[in-house]
Amino acid sequence: MPKLATAVDSLFAEVRSSIENAHALGMYDPVTSLPNRLHFRSEADKMLAARAAATLAAMLFVDLDRFKNVNDSLGHARGDHLLIMVANRLRVVVTAEVGERPGQRPILARLAGDEFTIFFPEIETVADAERVARRIALAISEPFELSGHSIDIGASVGVAIGPDHGTTIETLMRAADIAMYQAKNNGGGRYCLFSEELAAEHQRKVDTEAALGEAVQRGEFLLALQPQLSLITGEIVGAEALLRWNHPREGMRAPATFIPIAEQTGIIGEVGDWVIAEVGSMLSEWQAQGIARRVSFNVSPRQLDRADFFQRLRAAFVQVDVPLSLIELEFTESAAMEVSETVLEEIAALRRDGATIAIDDFGTGYSNIARLRAMPLDRVKLDPSLIAEIETCEKARVVVQAVVQLIKGVGAEIVAEAVENVAQADILRAMGCDTIQGFIFAHPMFEEEFLNWTRNAERGRSRDVA
């Protein structure tokens, strides 16, 4: 017996030392004991070269959702512990897969931080890879028990298939990475399969990101102005400033094609500053010409991340000697519902000093009625999706009527956005809507055209009145 024990001991010692050697050689991740990036690359390269030509290969890229929160709030030691548990769940999924389809010899690795990757050199169908990806997303969506805390994270999984999406490990990894980003953009906790359209979209995003960085300095932004018409008095009561990007190659670009990217990258701060400065200098010029017209502009929630946002906003208008009563700030419904108490106080102070406050795109987010009542608020802009069907659908009318009543109940005015025909305008007026903005009477226009347009509209109105 003692002899056997010694033999087992020495065998273990040998195994341990070979594992330690492998670690020392820098092949394994010390936290999870999974192969590291370098080891993964060289092994996967060999596997790809050795595989049967007629089969498919699958690359899965796994990135955890909300992992940073755990690291930040519970500390790195617990973060590491969580990574070990994640690695174990991934091992279970991969092992189960091999159990069901014994021919497969995948490699699972930790690339860096909260990124893992799995390479299957030989799969039969794309559906096989998708099934594994789905199982991974599911496995990681189950809560983790971490020193008494129940932790909810998720995984975004990108899937690329060789040879269609790449014939080298590097191109497959890049494709799986792009697909992973899409899964994350779609909300995380899911997988996404790579496609050429996805790659084109990704490239466009990368190009936009790079070009946005220089667009402000190059003076490529413009403001279009869209008038707002009172349904009660027939007067032009204001205008909304809408950003346009005169892209050097692509021409005029609408905000939907770049605002979300500017928000993700943080460039929105600089872009938003430009909008504020431009509205300020425009209003100041108008004042000199005897024109006093209120201009609304959109504020992204990311702009509010900067602690000095309101201070700088005020300074911008003081500098050009424009009273705050000439501006209106538009916050989207979801942004308005999420702002902190401090921001709410700043908004209230701005409002006391004359600025008006609007909630934009109302009806697309969720509203907390108590918050809506407490919010310092002048106007609520109904989202186009609410208005689109009011002339054709009874249910849509009932909903809009209820929303109008709710908003009136909190003492705010109603602006209906994207009103496109007379039937809609008539229904909205009958419902008690105060103001409309829409193609029915004016598209967004650049400054000179806008000024001509308003001059003509006012001349027409005074003729009508006379």
Tell how far CA 103 is from the center of its chain.
41
Phi, psi of 290 (to 5 degrees): 80, 15
Residue 90 interaction partner, one of Mg ion, ligand C2E, none, beta carbon < 5-8 Å per kind: none
DSSP state of 331: E
Q: Which residues contact 60 (CB under 8 A, 6 or more apart)?
A: 117, 118, 119, 120, 129, 132, 133, 136, 157, 158, 159, 176
Sole binder of ligand C2E in the list 356, 444, 445, 450 (CB under 6 A) = 444
350, containing H or E segment: helix 341-352
339 neighbors 375 (Cβ within 8 angstroms): no
What's the rounded Cα separation, in Å, for the pair 29 and 435? 62
* Smallest distance, Mg ion to C-beta of residue 360, A: 4
Sole binder of ligand C2E in the list 182, 208, 226, 228 (CB under 6 A) = 226
* Smallest distance, ligand C2E to C-beta of residue 449, A: 14
Q: Which of the stretches 23-31, 42-50, 70-78, 411-419 binds ligand C2E when contact is defined by CB under 6 A?
A: 411-419
Q: What 3-state DSSP class applies to 194?
A: coil
Comparing CB distances to ligand C2E, the nearer of 132 and 387 is 387
Comparing CB distances to Mg ion, the nearer of 63 and 330 is 330
* Smallest distance, ligand C2E to C-beta of residue 140, A: 34
Does 243 contact ligand C2E by CB under 6 A?
yes
* Smallest distance, Mg ion to C-beta of residue 336, A: 12
Give the pair of three-digit tokens for residue 162. Answer: 């060789």
Single-letter amino acid code for the residue at 368: N
Sole binder of ligand C2E in the list 176, 242, 282, 326 (CB under 6 A) = 242
Residue 328 interaction partner, one of ligand C2E, Mg ion, none, beta carbon < 5-8 Å per kind: none
Q: Which of the stretches 208-216, 338-346, 351-359, 431-439 binds ligand C2E when contact is defined by CB under 6 A?
A: 431-439
Residue 278 interaction partner, one of ligand C2E, Mg ion, none, beta carbon < 5-8 Å per kind: none
Footprint on this chain of Mg ion (rule: CB under 5 A): 298, 330, 360-361, 417
Single-letter amino acid code for the residue at 434: D
Does 418 contact ligand C2E by CB under 6 A?
yes
87 neighbors 34 (Cβ within 8 angstroms): yes
Residue 439 interaction partner, one of Mg ion, ligand C2E, none, beta carbon < 5-8 Å per kind: ligand C2E
Q: Give the other-Cβ count within 10 Å of 211's Cβ.
A: 19
* Smallest distance, ligand C2E to C-beta of residue 177, A: 28
* Smallest distance, Mg ion to C-beta of residue 312, A: 21
Sole binder of ligand C2E in the list 65, 328, 360, 434 (CB under 6 A) = 360
Single-letter amino acid code for the residue at 51: R
Sole binder of ligand C2E in the list 190, 276, 438, 450 (CB under 6 A) = 438
Does 255 contact ligand C2E by CB under 6 A?
yes
* Smallest distance, Mg ion to C-beta of residue 246, A: 20
Give the pair of three-digit tokens for residue 51. Answer: 């595989």
Give the pair of three-digit tokens for residue 226. Answer: 């869209």
Residue 338 Cα distances to 308, 335, 350, 371, angstroms: 18, 5, 18, 9
* Smallest distance, ligand C2E to C-beta of residue 253, A: 10
Q: Which of the stretches 184-192, 197-205, 253-261, 370-378 binds ligand C2E when contact is defined by CB under 6 A?
A: 253-261
Phi, psi of 220 (to 5 degrees): -90, -5
Q: How far apart are the first and last CA of the chain?
A: 116
Does 12 contact ligand C2E by CB under 6 A?
no
Single-letter amino acid code for the residue at 265: T
Tell how far CA 331 is from the center of its chain.
16
What's the rounded Cα separation, in Å, for the pair 391 and 389? 6
Single-letter amino acid code for the residue at 312: R
Does 288 contact ligand C2E by CB under 6 A?
no
* Smallest distance, ligand C2E to C-beta of residue 429, A: 16
Please spell the DSSP secondary structure of 91-108, one letter per residue: HHHHHHHHHHSTT---EE
Sole binder of ligand C2E in the list 48, 58, 275, 407 (CB under 6 A) = 275
Which residues of this chain interact with ligand C2E, rule CB under 6 A? 226, 242-243, 254-256, 259, 275, 297-298, 300, 330, 360-361, 384, 417-420, 437-439, 444
